[in-house]
Amino acid sequence: MAKITAADVKKLRELSGAGMMDCKKALTACDGDAEAAVDFLRKKGLGAASKKAGRVAAEGSVTAWINDCAGVLLEVNAETDFVSKNDQFNDFVARIGTIILTQNPVDVSALKALPFDAENTVGEALSQRIATIGENMNIRRFSFLKGDVLGTYIHGGGRIGVLVNIKGQACDALREVARGIAMHVAAINPLCISRDAMPADAIERERAVLSERALATGKPAKIIDKIVQGQLNKFYAESCLLEQAFVINTDLTVKEALKQAADDGQIVDVIRYELGEGIEKEVSDFAAEVAAQIQNA
């Protein structure tokens, strides 16, 4: 077995554009043969993936799956929304969802280390898709839940996804309301499930605004306290999931709809992903990009 030096790794990295650890692995697999290692990396798609890694990926899709009492919400990003319509991309995402459902990795790093097929890890399979599809891609995040009744909803072809976990005796009515609550969360995006779960800083910020507004009316302090409390109650009704008017039937609150489905129903977890949220997107002139590519061709 040939000895792999830091200089060997550096040289292969310059030749291939792949990461340092990938280069070391390739050289080890090829007994130090740099040319064979380049081919090894190309077959894995690792060199091409490394060159695309700096490009912003804020499109893609949010997807969800339920299997018995387990559910997954997953966001995989790409550079353009065209990729989310690509069968190869969607097949890859579905395969990842199955892996998460069956193996429940602790985070994305652990997921990437899991086997994707007989020859590749999830991370290596991702690199291959990047090379084949021609865009940077990223497994950004996922959530795995186990519970009595799970409901999911995907809006806008993968722009928004919601996973809801309800504690209670499983029945058709509870499954139906779980999906309805997932649809509600996608549309309304409540701050929290209940008043008890409302962040203290959000309450104090709202109280401060309402108090200042009430003081400006010049009314007595005891009246102002009642005004502020009344407006805080309205704030809770607008912000807390259980107190909001249910989008499926606005004559009921979410809490009332849940109780109609099952007396013992209790919302335990609500997870909502919006595609690309928090990612700083590049603003570019598409026509100028195409012209530049034609000129450089």
In the chain, what are the domains?
A: 6-44 (1.10.8.10), 56-146 (3.30.479.20), 195-268 (no CATH)
SS3 state of residue 286: helix
C-alpha 15/C-alpha 20 separation (Å) is 12
What's the average model confidence in pLDDT over 135-145? Answer: 93
pLDDT at 2 over 80: no
The token duo for 51 is 């060159």
pLDDT value of residue 19: 63
For 29-82, what is each residue's pLDDT tens digit? 888 888 788 777 766 666 555 555 556 678 999 999 999 899 999 999 998 888
pLDDT value, residue 39: 76
Find the mean pLDDT for residues 24-30.
Answer: 85
Confidence of residue 87 (pLDDT cuts 50, 70, 90): very high
pLDDT at 175 over 90: yes
* pLDDT over threshold 80, residue 101: yes
Output the DSSP codes for 185-198.
HHHH--SBSSGGGS
Q: Which residues contact 70 (CB under 8 A, 6 or more apart)?
A: 101, 104, 144, 145, 146, 150
pLDDT in tens, 212-235: 888 888 777 778 888 888 889 899
Mean pLDDT of 86-92: 93
* Average of per-residue pLDDT values in the chain: 86
